[in-house]
Amino acid sequence: MAGNWKMYKTPADTHAFFEAFKPLVADAKNVDIVLCPPFADLHAAITETANSGIAVGAQNLYWGKEGAVTGEVSGHMLQAIGCQYVIIAHSERRQYFGESEPDVVRKIEAALEYGLTPIVCVGERLEEREEGRTEEVLATMFDGGLAPLAAEQFAKVVIAYEPVWAIGTGKTATPEIAEAAHRFIRGKVAEKFGADAAAAVRILYGGSVKPDNVTKLMSEEDIDGALVGGASLDPKSFAAIVNF
Ligand code: PGA
């Protein structure tokens, strides 16, 4: 269960979140919990989660270890500060910052080089769904962003299916719609990396996941977890999702 705070919260807010959140998930079992705050809050989050079993991730990274790349943060730096995960190619990065499939591959490789687990986002926009192009879009993202990886690299990747029309809109994909997309993605994994890789890969659903819809979504066979935006900002609601 991963939370994506996007561009919300200060370090003080981050401390307050974890003070409230940690006791609520202290008994959570058989679930990996990840919070992905903005860069400015990573230190606070990592301090707060020490020895708690809760992992911290970043929301983006730059490929390369260091260099004259003003405004960017490398996987090397994220590893050094204690991050364990990094979100790659969120639809907001694709849409507002023009991230393309070749960038996705470079970022995944950079994450893996520095021991970070990439959470790689794929998903169609509303017009693409309405035009019946969902599978085509997912296939293009898979072929361009994930298929070029070596099998050992792919084995360390988490995929997040996030239909863009469901993000921040309160319009969750129905469990059936989400399951169909997850099944399609798992099929692509099987074709490229084999049945074992397809069975092992974790595919998270993201898009308006809330405490009251998480149970149904998670009951679908191919949905292994969630990438939660808005509902991860509140310790009670994210804890309810983790503990569903
Ligand atoms: P949401 O965001 O839960 O607010 O819809 C999900 C995401 O963008 O990762």
- pTM for this one? 0.97
Beta bridge partners of 122: 161
Which stretch of DSSP H or E encloses residue 81?
helix 75-81
CA of 168 to the centre of ligand 1 (A): 5
Instruction: Going residue by residue through the chain, which has 244 residues, state the pLDDT in tens, using 9 for 90 and above.
Output: 999 999 999 999 999 999 999 999 999 999 999 999 999 999 999 999 999 999 999 999 999 999 999 999 999 999 999 999 999 999 999 999 999 999 999 999 999 999 999 999 999 999 999 999 999 999 999 999 999 999 999 999 999 999 999 998 888 889 999 999 999 999 999 999 999 999 999 999 999 999 999 999 999 999 999 999 999 999 999 999 999 9
Q: Among this protein's residues, is 162 annotated catalytic?
A: yes
* Nearest of 183, 201, 242 to residue 3 by alpha carbon: 242
CA–CA distance, 95 with 92 (Å, rounded to integer): 5
CA–CA distance, 40 with 11 (Å, rounded to integer): 7
- Is residue 167 within 8 A of residue 230, CB to CB? The reply is no
Mutation choice for ligand 1 from 124, 159, 167, 234, CB with most ligand atoms inside 8 A: 167
Q: Spell out the domains of the chain, with CATH numbers in brackets.
A: 2-242 (3.20.20.70)
Q: Among this protein's residues, is 43 annotated catalytic?
A: no
Which among 90, 92, 128, 179 is annotated as catalytic? 90
3-state secondary structure at position 244: coil
Helix, strand, coil percentages (3-state) for the chain, rounded to 5, are 50, 15, 35
